Structure 1
Amino acid sequence: MMKIQPLSLAGWQVASVVLACITSGGLLWARRRLRRKQRLPLPPGPSASPHGKHSAQQVQQWIEEYGPIITLTNGKDIHVVIGRHHEAVMLMEKQGAVLADRPYSVASNEILSRGLKFMQMSTCDRFRKYRKAAHAELQMKATLIYDNEQAQYARNIVLDILKDPASHQGHIKRFSATVTLRVIYGKTTPTYVDDPYIRHLQRMVPIVQGALMPGAYKVDTYPFLKYVPGYTRGLDKWADLEHEQFMNNVRQTKMGLENHTGPHSVAGGLLTKPELGMSEHEIAYFCGSLVGASFDTTQVAISTILMAAAHFPEIQEIVQAEIDSAVGRETAPSLENWCTLTKVHAFILEALRWRPVNPLGVPHRAAKDIVWNGYCIPANAIVSGNHWCVSRDPEVFPDPERFDINRWIDEDGNLNDLKAYSFGFGRRICPGLNLANRAMFIAVATIMWAFTIKEDLSNRYNAFELPAAIVSHHKPYSILYEPRTDVEWLKEVMSGQTSKSEA
């Protein structure tokens, strides 16, 4: 029979440590189990993966079936989707501090962004520094200095359409790129869609936006993969190319400042504000992320608004009557007409409600548990405000499929205070909101002043063919532009050579 030897002092110490670990582990397990039992349930939802590419229309069906907030879950992965206006206000706005973070992504935050991009960044000291920078350079007062140039760029759209109406989407891209690069970097030479930087943006933006989608890359689910040699080679390549582009753009802006040849720009303003404490690298990535977001969403938004104008000709006529009354037919609109063209603003708001630019919304992260209506949205859950569903909330937008600009106009004929979420929620609202609004306004007002926009009945399009992506890019579509006045005179006005009163 084997004789059991008594434990030495060292053995007893080891055994005590093991026993303590087992006991504490058991207590921790019991405590977690108790907390799970006591914790309120998740909002209800379908048996669907939180990482699936679910269409906006599919999510709308789930919201109608399960309620204003739904949960998509798979084990530890929890994605909460907010699909009604009241809940968006109560959670995304009033609890904005709790939902100010972005979900952490190895692909997006660590590799592509190098921890320096504004849009992907979670709340931290650098994020707060970036917010101060955005306020300094992109608040409404700061963007007014670009008004005259934006108006000229909008007139260039008209000239481009007169020359080549079939390429109208390309002309809108050119406008968006020209405005964005002028404001951010001070680039004053014309920007074309075949510009090397624009070609780079058109390749890069879908990759960056795709990385924001939950579960887009396996390295986000299995972070150890970033240590596997060569596994992230593709992402690393894009990150290197973007880094080089960002730094070159800021160096060129800096050179213009030193030579006193560059106009005011966001990058130039930040380079001359040492009190903000931003390094050149931070300025480069801050500006680069603004360019990527602004160029893409602005051109998609304007294309959407023009599509709506063709789709709803009777409402287009109402808006054009307001433009003709307020501006006249002697000269083109300017941003001085901002306060007098209420129906233009309402048309833009309704078009972006009708077909949101960001139908699925950009993901947020809950910093702590959020209790709502008997449910718990747990800390670290991904939370998205679904723009498509919120914009179709029948309690706020009766008969939501009807296109009605009067939703946005009060009984006195002014814009009402109804919340629109085209540019995001809470503390993560788009920092370039003021600039984008003015760009959309002047582009739409100028094009509607110059043309009657019609559907091409020989080449119909599906306005609601929405990709399951952060930004719903349009497939190529055809609409017709019929000049509302003499073409040669229109060319002269758009070129700034004359007005009708001089003709």
Structure 2
Amino acid sequence: MGLPDIQIVVALFLAFLGFHCYLLAKTTGRDASRFPGPPSLPLIGNIWRLNPKRAWLELTSLKEKHGDIIYYHGLGNSVLVLNSIDAIKDLLEKRNNTYSDRPVFTVVGDMMGLGQSMPLLPNGPEWRACRKLAHLALSPSAVTKYHHIQEELTVLLLKEILDAPGEFNSHVRLIAGRIILTLTYGLSVKDADDNYITDAEKTMKMIGEAVVPGAFVADLLPILKHFTFLPFHKEAAKGRDMIENLVSKPMAHVHREMTSGIAPKSLTRDLLEQDFEDRETHEHRVKWTSGSLYGAGAETVSQHAIALFSGLREDNQTYTTVLVFILAMAMYPDVQRKAQKEVSSRVSSTRLPKLAEVRDLPYLEAVVKECLRWRPALPLGLARSTATDDIYNGYFIPKGTVVMPNAWALAFTPNAEYDPQEFIPERFLDESQDILDPMTYAFGFGRRICPGKALAENSIYIILANLLAAFNILPPEDGIRPPEFGPNLISYPEPFECRLVPKPGMDQVVRMSAAESSI
């Protein structure tokens, strides 16, 4: 063992010793007021029982035994899992001041600089300023000017499926990223594909690896970030450069085009044109608000990275929902026929649907909701952190507790009339049933609700309506094999097979529409 390794061991030992003393002081006298949870062991508690892989399944199964709130603790950490909409509303919405913080990520957040992005900013003046910018650019009225871009990019998706139907998984992934890159920075599809998506994929892959539990001891022992001789500091410095390039490069592109007077309409251009007295601070906020969208928009492979970087959710929600829709249509042909009939009643077979024509179709709306419910993109909502100690229903919740809303438990609440395991859009049309609308949990809660909800919904509606208009979605000839869904924070289907067959005459309609497109 060389000297650096000895130093590491000594540093770890001293840090752990100090941390353990802090833990004992912090938890003394609290046991009697903890929420129920799995059995604990002395000193290390029960947090070791919390398996991050598909945790939502186990946590939902534990609801019957432990109730709506489950408590994990140990190694200086407290985790509270919320399994009911009542608990979520009581804490995340009604007690916003206490439950609007994010957990601290020492390496990725502090040392690599990702903590400057809006999703990871703590609840405070800087976060509120960035959120105000996001609302300016992403409000329901503001995003109407992007409808034509979403429509034209959807036509491009249809054409790519016509040209290579077996690669629909990749086509959907690209359309989700292109929508965000085009709307955020005004990038052409070619420029986005050639110069930005690859860089973003590398950076997001790095972030994804950096946030895997156990990747850096400093995330458990933050004091180690002050020991600059430890090897992980070099990795953190490299990561910081990659993240800075990720958010600065496209911002510089918009600046150049604005200076030249050729910048197309985009979210970033709109925000930069706002008149703010402190220009430097304003541009810093625009860079990180836009960058939060871009990082997620260009990469949908690394689930951990997306969950950290995209509290805005547009891309991952679109990507997951469209793939879930394709899977469901192949598995439930009766649902597909009903949805196709509704779309064709509004739009003739000589052209493709426009967004304004399909937003008020009731069965399509029910299909969208069922996609969000049947396989939630974020089965465990993005974690919060308590800003102060709190008491709820007589139980003590210490400051710094990680709070996780379990969307899976909400989505799969038992119902006597409709099996939650089955894809049944009619559940949302049946007024006799008290079924929770997934729009209340698919995009977050309280102050941390996704500011880009309207943009994401528009992308989902226009893509689904056009797929229904242009294609019959069929299982493979040898039958559908339901895919595995990712086990991490964002859960989307692994690549699967099905057949997207153009409806009679629609291949020509799609190609003509693509030829007329300005994208």
Q: Does 1:429 align with 2:432?
A: no
SS at match of 1:448: helix
Q: How does 1:294-313 map to 2 (within 5 A)?
A: 294-295=297-298, 296=300, 297=316, 298-313=318-333
Q: How far off its partner does 1:190 sit?
A: 3.6
Residue by residue over 1:414-441, the C-alpha shift from the partner in whole angstroms, topping out at 9 and shown as x without a partner, is x996653112222112222111111111
Residue in 1 aligned with 2:35? 42
Within 1, Cα distance between the matches of 2:360 and 2:410? Answer: 29
Q: 2:509 aligns with which of 490, 495, 500?
A: 490
- Deviation at residue 366 of structure 1 after TM alignment: 1.4
Q: Report how far residue 315 of structure 1 moved.
A: 0.9
Superposed counterparts of 1:346-357, under 5 Å: 346-357=366-377
* Aligned 8 A contact 1:151 1:334 in 2: yes
State TM-score, norm by structure 2. 0.82
CA spacing shift, 1:311–1:31, aligned 2, 3 Å: closer
Which residue matches 1:269? 270
- Of 149-158 and 325-334, more deviation after overlay is shown by 325-334
Query: 1:50/1:107 Cα in 2 relative to 1: closer, same or farther (>3 Å)?
Result: farther
Whole-Å separation in 1 of the counterparts to 2:399 and 2:415: 29
Alpha-carbon distance between aligned partners in 1 of 2:191 and 2:399, rounded to the nearest angstrom: 45
Q: Deviations over 1:204-248 (max 9, x none)?
A: 335545666776632111123222323232233122112123212
* Superposed CA offset, 1:153-180 (max 9, x none): 1011111011001111111122112211
Task: Identify, as 1 or 2, the structure richer in helix.
Answer: 2
3-state DSSP class of the match of 1:489? Answer: helix
Structure 2 residue ranges without an equivalent (≥5): 1-21, 40-45, 301-315
Deviation at 1:114, TM superposition (A): 4.7
Q: 1:366 to 1:179 in 2, by over 3 A?
A: same
Structure 1 equivalent of residue 288 of structure 2 = 285
1:354 and 1:323 map into 2 onto residues whose CA distance is: 22
1:178 alignment counterpart = 178
How many Å apart are 1:462 and its aligned residue?
A: 3.3
Alpha-carbon distance, 1:382 to partner: 0.3
Residue matched to 2:198? 199
How much has 1:63 moved relative to structure 2? 2.0
The answer to whether the Cα contact below 8 Å between 1:60 and 1:389 also exists between their aligned partners in 2 is yes
Aligned in 2, Cα 1:143/1:432: closer, same or farther, shift over 3 Å?
same
What is the deviation of 1:361? 2.0
Larger Rg: 1
* Residues 236 and 147 (structure 1), Cα distance of their counterparts in 2 relative to 1, 3 Å cut: same
Equivalent in the alignment of 2:169? 169
User: Which residue of the partner structure matches residue 17 of structure 1?
Assistant: none
SS at match of 1:319: helix
- Equivalents in 2 of 1:63, 1:43: separation in Å? 10
Cα distance in 1 for partners of 2:24, 2:214 equals 31
Matched residue, 1:420: 440
Aligned to 2:411: 391
Deviation at 1:397, TM superposition (A): 9.0
Q: Is the aligned partner of 1:403 residue 2:423?
A: yes
Q: Which amino acid letter does the alignment assign opposite residue 355 of structure 1?
A: R
2:72 corresponds in structure 1 to: 72
Letter in 1 for 2:86: H
- SS in structure 1 opposite 2:79? strand
Match of 1:323 in 2: 343
Pairwise mapping of residues 2-151 of structure 1 onto structure 2 (< 5 A)?
36=30, 40-46=33-39, 47-49=46-48, 52-55=51-54, 56-151=56-151
Return the alpha-carbon distance in structure 2 between the equivalents of residues 487 and 174 of structure 1: 22
Structure 1: stretches of 5+ with no match in the other structure = 1-27, 499-503
Give the deviation of 1:29 after TM superposition: 13
Q: Closer, same or farther in 2 for the Cα pair 1:219/1:380, shift >3 Å?
A: same
Please give the per-residue CA displacement for 1:334-384, whole angstroms capped at 9, x wherever unaligned.
111143322222211111211111112211101223433343332211000
Counterpart code for 1:336: A
C-alpha deviations, 1:372-411, integer Å up to 9, x for none? 3343332211000112122112269953212221233365
* Shift, 1:199, TM fit: 2.2
TM-score w.r.t. the length of structure 1 is 0.84
How many angstroms apart in 1 are the aligned matches of 2:374 and 2:437? 18
2: CA distance, partners of 1:366 / 1:242: 27
- 1:443-498 CA deviation, whole Å, 9 max, x = no partner? 111011101112225374434x3333221243221111011122552334432659
Q: Secondary structure at the match of 2:120?
A: coil
The 2-side partners of 1:398 and 1:156 are apart by: 37
- With over 3 angstroms needed to count, the CA separation of the structure-2 counterparts of 1:441 and 1:397, relative to structure 1, is farther
Q: Once the 2 structures are TM-superposed, how far is the Cα of residue 273 of structure 1 from its aligned partner? A: 1.5
Residues 182 and 215 of structure 1: is their aligned pair in 2 closer, same or farther, counting only changes over 3 Å? same
In 2, Cα distance between the equivalents of 1:81 and 1:209? 23
1:22 aligns with: none
Is the 1:51–1:214 Cα contact (8 Å) retained in structure 2? Answer: no
Alpha-carbon offset, residue 125 of structure 1: 1.4
Per the TM alignment, residue 69 of structure 1 is displaced from its structure 2 partner at its CA by 1.4
Contact 2:35/2:69 (CA < 8 Å) preserved in 1? no
Distance in 1 (alpha carbons) for counterparts of 2:61 and 2:424 = 23
User: In structure 1, what is the Cα distance between the partners aligned to 2:497 and 2:276?
Assistant: 50
**Counterpart position of 1:5:** none
**1:209–1:470: 8 Å Cα contact kept in structure 2?**
no
Matched-pair contact (CA < 8 Å) for 1:112–1:238: yes
Contact 2:102 2:385 in 1 (8 A): yes
Q: Does 1:477 align with 2:476?
A: no
**1:319 offset after TM fit, Å?**
0.9
Q: How much has 1:30 moved relative to structure 2?
A: 13
Q: What is the alpha-carbon root mean square deviation over aligned residues?
A: 3.0
* Partner Cα distance (2:156, 2:25) in 1: 66
Shift of the 483–334 alpha-carbon distance from structure 1 to 2, 3 Å rule, reads same
Identical pairs, percent: 25
Contact 1:43–1:375, Cα closer than 8 Å, also in 2: no
Offset from partner CA, 1:46-85 (integer Å, 9 cap, x none): 5452763242322222223321211122242111111223
CA distance in 2, matches of 1:162, 1:33: 61
**Match of 2:30, as an amino acid?**
R
Number of aligned residues: 466
Distance in 2 (CA, whole Å) between partners of 1:208 and 1:88 is: 29
